Amino acid sequence: MRYELYYWPSIQGRGEFVRLALEEAAADYVDVARMQVRGGMGVPAMMRLMENAPGGRAPFAPPFLKAGRQLIAQTTNILLFLAPRIGLVPKAEATRLWAHQLQLTIADFVTEIHDIHHPIANSLYYEEQQPEAKRRSANFRTERLPKFLDYFEGVLDANPGGARHLVGRRLSYVDLSMFQVIAGLNYAFPRAMARRKSKWPRLLDLHRRVMARPRIAAYLASDRRLPFSTAGLFRHYSELDG
């Protein structure tokens, strides 16, 4: 199966959670909109597919994945579909639901992280909502960041399969997504993260181990990995970092 990933070509964004899973599994995939950069089909192909989705099942927004005739949107839904096919989740239904539950919680966290720099409207520039962003970031750093990361640290600690993974005994897509969240937070909030890093030793260890996995390390060093930037989901603005 050759998978087609459709996502904005210039940012990691939510597409990155899918890219990391495809890369770790060495799956056969094309990052369709990025092909524009490499002289391929690009964003127009993505927009055409959104407008003329097979069976009237149009995605609301990227990322979406084409697998044969199926078109699947919503990051967490894409991973729910993909992970069993590429060996990134255990078999038992209860465990799959647990993985999905954790991934939905990551998606909630990601939305809150995004809304720090866009607290009023997605259609306004950050600079047009900076006072609100400052208020929101202060609350994020003191309340929401610790609440979410304490929770995931506790999940690692309580995992019957061991604290090296969030689910079961082996790497799953949830671990890859958690790697991305920690990497993004380290980029966006270096001071806030450094100040509190002793609180989350297991999460930081997970981040280091995922980064060192041969396929992930090769991906991160390649031009397929876009850099973090202030156009993306995780944004570094010094004034929001306390």
Ligand X SMILES: N[C@@H](CCC(=O)N[C@@H](CS)C(=O)NCC(=O)O)C(=O)O
Query: Using CB under 6 A as the criterion, which residues of the chain lie in contact with ligand X when the complex forms?
Result: 13-14, 61-63, 74-75, 107, 122
**In whole angstroms, how close is the CB of 205 to ligand X at the nearest point?**
27
Burial degree of 174 (CB within 10 A; 0-12, 13-18, 19+): buried
CB of 1 vs ligand X, minimal distance in Å:
21
Instruction: Please report how close the Cβ of residue 50 comes to ligand X at its closest, in angstroms.
Output: 10
Q: Kindly tell me which of 7 and 200 has the beta carbon lying closer to ligand X.
A: 7
Nearest one of 173, 175, 206, 212 to 25, comparing CA atoms: 173
- Cα–Cα distance, 15 to 1 (Å, whole number): 19
- How far apart are CB 141 and ligand X at their closest, in Å? 22
Closest to ligand X by CB, 121 or 221: 121
β-pairing verdict for 29-31 and 3-6:
parallel
Number of alpha carbons in the 13 Å side-chain half-sphere of residue 196: 21
The distance of closest approach from Cβ of residue 107 to ligand X in the complex, given in angstroms and rounded to an integer, is: 5
Nearer to ligand X, 18 or 156 (CB): 18
Rounded to the nearest angstrom, the gap between the alpha carbon of residue 31 and the centroid of all alpha carbons in its chain is 15
Closer by beta carbon to ligand X, 57 or else 215 = 57
Q: How far is the CB of 163 from ligand X (least distance, A)?
A: 27
Q: Which is nearer to ligand X, 10 or 159 (CB)?
A: 10
Burial class (CB in 10 A: 0-12, 13-18, 19+), 137: buried
Of 37 and 61, which CB lies nearer to ligand X in the complex structure?
Answer: 61
Residues 6+ apart with CB under 8 A from 218: none
Q: Which amino acid is at 152?
A: F
Tell me whether residue 122 or residue 238 sits nearer to ligand X (CB atom).
122
* Least Å from the CB of residue 62 to ligand X: 5
Identity at 53, one-letter amino acid code: A
C-beta contacts of 136-140 below 8 A and 24+ residues apart: 137/240, 137/241, 137/242, 138/242, 140/112, 140/113, 140/116
Q: How far apart are CA 37 and CA 195, in angstroms?
A: 39
